[in-house]
Structure 1
Amino acid sequence: MALSYGLELETDLSPKQVLQILSQKLDLKWQQETLHGSGVMINSHIEDEDNQLLFAEKLGYKPSVFVGFRVNPNQDFEEGMRTMIRACMNLLTQIKGNAVLLFNYETIVFQRINHELIFNQEMREPWIDAEMTNLNTPYKLQSLVSPLL
């Protein structure tokens, strides 16, 4: 059973443009409307109005695009997780709006609200630290309680 992560982006880009950025920046292969890499599958769609209103109320911004990551815990798990973090950070460098990465649609992995990137201390994993060091992206660690729970 794959692990589900979702990046809620505030952007003017279309879902297709978001995936095109990732296909150009990372070693991912197109399969119909999704991208595939070692241990990960990535899709994207326009965020529905109900979720936009929920995020506006709970987190103070309206995500326009959802990027879904399905990470296979039984095949190339660590590489899939690293690809997901690289994908997210590549998008954050291209897109200046707010963003939140959620695990199972409710637990915050990281958030960038008002240009401040914060990783959830409770979701900290060694591969996150390694990837963030490699990407040279400034961030903070702190406990983040999800208002979506």
Structure 2
Amino acid sequence: MKSKDLSQVLELACQILSYYEDENVTDALKDILHMCEERKSSTNKKLKDKNRSKSGIDSELRERFYSETKGLSIPEIQTYLNDKTQFPNISSLQHLAERIGLKGLSRANRDNIIHSILKAIERSQIDQTISERKTTSLAE
């Protein structure tokens, strides 16, 4: 460390310690440490709350989509996805696709995103049918 750097550090320390005029240096440093820990914990709490609220919104979007399309045929779901009032732009479809587990559609056009969502739904229905068959054959 150069002497110029050391002098800057000492000047900063002097400015900080000027807030603790009549206290012991150890007490001042403990107070500063406590403030840093509080700031870190509040920042972590804000990040956790933000992630929690985002995941809640994501699961709400996914559940709303599944509830609105439950019992619909694939052509009916395609009509629903093509509805501009439900999905006014490509980013809304991309967001839905991400929430149901499809990644890598950031450059896809509207038709490709809808096709990918429909294929994911078809695969899900096939998986559900297979699992139902397995449980009924095991029960027999």
Fold similarity call, TM over 0.5: no
More helix by share: 2
More strand by share: 1
TM-score between both structures, scaled by the size of structure 1 = 0.24
Please identify the structure whose Cα radius of gyration is greater. Answer: 2
